[in-house]
Amino acid sequence: MRVMIANELKEHPMARLITAITMLLLLALLPAAVGAQDATAEPPALPANYQLTGFLHIPQHWNNCGPATLTMGLTYFGFEADQDPAANWLKPTSEDGNVSPWQMAEYVNTQIPGTVRAMVRVGGDLTLLKTLLSNNFPVIIEAGYDPEPDRLGWMGHYLLMTGYDDAAQQFNTHDSYLGPNKKYSYEHIDTFWMHFNNTYIVLYKFEREQELLTLLGTNADATQNALNALEVNRQRALNNPNDAFAWFNMGSNYVELASVDPAAFTYAETAFDQARSLGLPWRMLWYQFGPYEAYLAVGRYQDVIELARVQLQESGTSQFIEETYYYAGRAREGLGEADRALANYEQALFLDPNFTPAQEARDRLINAASSSGG
């Protein structure tokens, strides 16, 4: 079936690439992401080992790996080794179970004085990590984490990458939970990083932005980056159709591509359904919210409410994740339940007053009620 794109979207240089992706995500017919490009076809010559220095390790406070890891990265640029300023802005409620990569970048780009910036991309690989590190760009990755399987179980975690050693086949990291100079094998990073779509945050000085974009190659453009990552995950699913993470990542990539072609939400819906049918860690929706976005876009409001309800019934800090309330609010709004939607948005903002999507949704509802005289 041909994908129809609104005229205004056709102006985007990547729109024509997305239209070439067929609608069906049934694995036997799963199409290549036409336009996806191999950013590592001719990798630069890299040193066999490299180590960035100048970081100060910060042991995380309870439930604070995001702010602690981000602050560790900022110490490279001379910032104080104090995780509290980042925590106070990123998660005013200490029980908040998640800080998303876009929030970490927003903190750096809007709250940090000076010229330090942050850029988020997905679909990274080990060569790219080594390329960035050997060019003196600190990198934070988001990855699956299970340091105490019998006590904690699978969760999301941020790692500050500081160096690598090809001979030992290891990356050096600062791990806010396990300590400084924690070494992880290439195999370990390769396995657990894909649980989060190989997401990475690059920290850099603004005057080096063009240098960074050059190193990123085709991944410098956010839409092309999503296409590239989609093709990586499509190949993973072809190699192992039972890989739930590959299907979930494809769904996340399609959600990103929906900003150019809204029809991509249909593909995302199918990919997320397949991932859920294969089985995902129970904490998955603490950290990644693509299923909510896809199901809302196709009108599956009750499914969103049910997913949110399941999350809120889980033990731990699940009741303190503002995104759960935000997406439940959007589903209530889709069902025409404005009062319940507003209550959900207010709860999201009670947990995190800086959570801009809930701010915008709340203000929109309040303004709409005022305009209608309600």
In a domain, 278, yes or no: yes
Q: Do both 161 and 266 map to the same domain?
A: no
Q: What is the pLDDT of residue 43?
A: 60
In a domain, 175, yes or no: yes
Q: What is the pLDDT of residue 151?
A: 79
Q: Do both 210 and 81 map to the same domain?
A: yes
In a domain, 244, yes or no: no
Q: Do both 199 and 301 map to the same domain?
A: no
Counting as low any pLDDT under 50, the low residues of the chain are 1-31, 39-41
Query: pLDDT tens digits, residue range 226-242?
Result: 999 999 999 999 999 99
Q: Do both 20 and 62 map to the same domain?
A: no
Q: What is the pLDDT of residue 44?
A: 67
In a domain, 277, yes or no: yes
What is the CATH classification number for the domain harbouring 265?
Answer: 1.25.40.10
Q: Do both 269 and 198 map to the same domain?
A: no
Q: What is the pLDDT of residue 17?
A: 42
Q: Annotate the chain with three-state secondary structure.
A: CCCCCCHHHCCCCCHHHHCCCCCCCCHHHCCCCCCCCCCCCCCCCCCCEEECCCCCCCCCCCCCHHHHHHHHHHHCCCCCCCCHHHHHHHCCCCCCCCCCHHHHHHHHHHHCCCCEEEEEECCCCHHHHHHHHHCCCCEEEEEEECCCCCCCCCEEEEEEEEEEECCCCEEEEEECCCEEEEEEEHHHHHHHHHHHCCCEEEEEEHHHHHHHHHHHHHHHCHHHHHHHHHHHHHHHHHHCCCCHHHHHHHHHHHHHHCCCCCCHHHHHHHHHHHHHHHCCCCCHHHHCCHHHHHHHHCCCHHHHHHHHHHHHHCCCCHHHCHHHHHHHHHHHHHCCCHHHHHHHHHHHHHHCCCCHHHHHHHHHHHHHHHHCCC
For residue 357, give its domain range: 7-36+261-371
Query: pLDDT tens digits, residue range 342-365?
Result: 999 999 999 999 999 999 999 999
- Number of domains the chain is built from: 2
What is the CATH classification number for the domain harbouring 137?
Answer: 3.90.70.10
Q: Do both 278 and 200 map to the same domain?
A: no
